Amino acid sequence: MSFFGFGQSADIDIVLNDAETRKKAEHKSEDGRKDKYFLFYDGETVSGKVNVTLKYSGKRLEHNGIKIEFVGQIELYYDRGNHHEFVSLVKDLARPGELTQSQTFDFEFTHVEKPYESYTGQNVKLRYFLRATVGRRLNDISKELDIVVHTLSTYPELNSSIKMEVGIEDCLHIEFEYNKSKYHLKDVIVGKIYFLLVRIKIKHMEIDIIKRETTGTGPNVYHENDTMAKYEIMDGAPVRGESIPIRLFLAGYEMTPTMRDINKKFSVRYYLNLVLIDEEERRYFKQQEITLWRKGDIVRKSMSHQAIIASQRFEGSSNPEKSQTPSNAEEG
């Protein structure tokens, strides 16, 4: 069998050029486990080496070519066989031939566009990875290396406060106000609740942050709601004229930026949900969407020159209206 080159096999290893210095970020896998991956931003170059190590010395390895790909793809869990690729770059490392010894190949994908944030959700996964492949007649040898991408945004110029009312005629009238409608992931939600009329006995009141993941289109639309945070405002009955301050720190919760209509496949939106429960266990609630975004100027200190250029390119192309929203989405 070795006469045809079938007896030889190889191990593949992908090593990034800046693996020693590049920052890593925690990212949740499908099974809920958290792992650390190399962190990249839009516009950064991805470069490194592919090591092909032959398993048996003295035997040659026939191949149909060696290549490396950079892939960004979306996988919908209800449509498992289908991977929707929005980035697909290929570099040929070797023409068809044979390897008589272990070999190392250099690769570089320059200023790669990475338009969306890495995301693992209830029904969808968006991932970026490198895949090195040694093509063979019967079965290819391949190795993948996942990376994580974060999208950075500039500070929203227009960031109006949220004012809402909850009312039941002649029974309850509450006004609540939040300081703004767009928050970065380490921000603080500051607000106040005013009780203008209270004729029902409220025993509990809280604010929840709800993440709503929407996947699919048309008849195949799936919604998943997940409560990310609960903040108890009061436990006991308020009186008319009372006001209660709110201060909710977002840094302690695992949230992503708001994602709207990502590649026409999925959206991730966040809502502030005010919940009141009376003594008869009736629930009253009011919901308001907020926009979450990843702040760029803190991370920028550790960013590479290429990432700074990419970030500036985004800022320069943004008009004041669009700068309200994260770079990976437009206002829906």
pLDDT of residue 316: 43
- Comparing 215 with 168, the larger pLDDT belongs to 215
The reply to whether 162-293 shares the fold of 10-149 is yes
pLDDT of residue 117: 97
**Residue 319 confidence (pLDDT) above 60:** no
User: Percent of the chain at pLDDT above 70?
Assistant: 86
pLDDT of residue 23: 95
Lowest mean pLDDT among 142-156, 255-269, 314-328: 314-328
pLDDT of residue 191: 92
Please give the CATH topology (third level) of the domain spanning 162-293.
Immunoglobulin-like (2.60.40)
Q: Phi and psi dihedrals of 56, rounded to 5?
A: -125, 120
Please give the CATH topology (third level) of the domain spanning 10-149.
Immunoglobulin-like (2.60.40)
SS (H, E, C) 106-174: EEEECCCCCCCCCEECCCEEEEEEEEEEECCCCCCEEEEEEEEECCCECCCCCCCCEEEEEEECCCEEE
pLDDT of residue 33: 86
Q: Structural domain boundaries of the chain?
A: 10-149, 162-293
Strand, coil or helix: 77: helix
Work out whether strand 283-293 and strand 182-184 pair parallel, antiparallel, or are unpaired: parallel
Phi-psi region of 3 (alpha: psi -120 to 50; beta: other; left: phi over 0): alpha
Structure tokens, 101: 């010894």
- Comparing 297 with 184, the larger pLDDT belongs to 184
- Once rounded to an integer, what is the mean pLDDT over residues 116-143? 94
Banded pLDDT at 195 (limits 50, 70, 90): confident
Please provide the average confidence, as pLDDT, over all residues in the chain.
Answer: 84
Structure tokens, 81: 């066989």
- Once rounded to an integer, what is the mean pLDDT over residues 304-320? 46
pLDDT of residue 202: 81
pLDDT, tens only, 37-82: 999 999 999 999 999 999 988 889 999 999 999 999 999 988 777 8
DSSP state of 23: -
pLDDT of residue 190: 93
pLDDT, tens only, 220-271: 789 999 999 998 887 767 778 888 899 999 999 999 999 999 999 999 999 9
Taking CA atoms, 322 is separated from 297, 302, 325, 326, in Å, by 18, 26, 6, 8
pLDDT, tens only, 174-183: 888 999 999 9
pLDDT, tens only, 15-34: 999 999 999 999 988 887 88
